[in-house]
Amino acid sequence: MKSNLLCTLTTGVFLVCALYTIWLSVRVFFTVKELQQLQYEYVRVEQLQQAAQGLASEAVEYSKTNSAIDPILRRFDLKPKAAATNAPAAAGAKNPVR
């Protein structure tokens, strides 16, 4: 009787461990599948970013020969905005002297 109970308990523990192992295997499978999709998205975004940076640097280089593109470059902060040295001072504004 005791050996039959021990065999039943051992079989039960083995069954629980087998089910837990199957559950973990399924989780690992889907997690790895999601990781592969995220890696693909990361590579795609990185390539898009490199293409955009290349286009921006070409536009800045082009602006050296043709200044008509400067307003667009300034709008997207690709080129520093012109200093407002020629603009008149606002009425009532005081310039502190140190």
Give the count of domains, the chain.
Answer: 1
Question: Do the domain assignments include residue 70?
Answer: yes
Question: Do the domain assignments include residue 96?
Answer: no
Q: What's the DSSP call for residue 54?
A: H
Residue 94: what pLDDT?
Answer: 55
Evaluated on CA atoms 20, 21, 24, 25, the torsion sign reads: negative
Question: Do the domain assignments include residue 71?
Answer: yes
Residue 78: what pLDDT?
Answer: 87
Average pLDDT of span 22-43: 98
Question: Do the domain assignments include residue 80?
Answer: no
Local confidence band at 98 (pLDDT 50, 70, 90 cut-offs): very low
- Separation of alpha carbons 7 and 13, rounded Å: 10
Q: pTM to 2 decimals?
A: 0.58
For 45, the domain range is 8-75
Name the residue among 62, 93, 96, 91 with its Cα closest to residue 79: 62
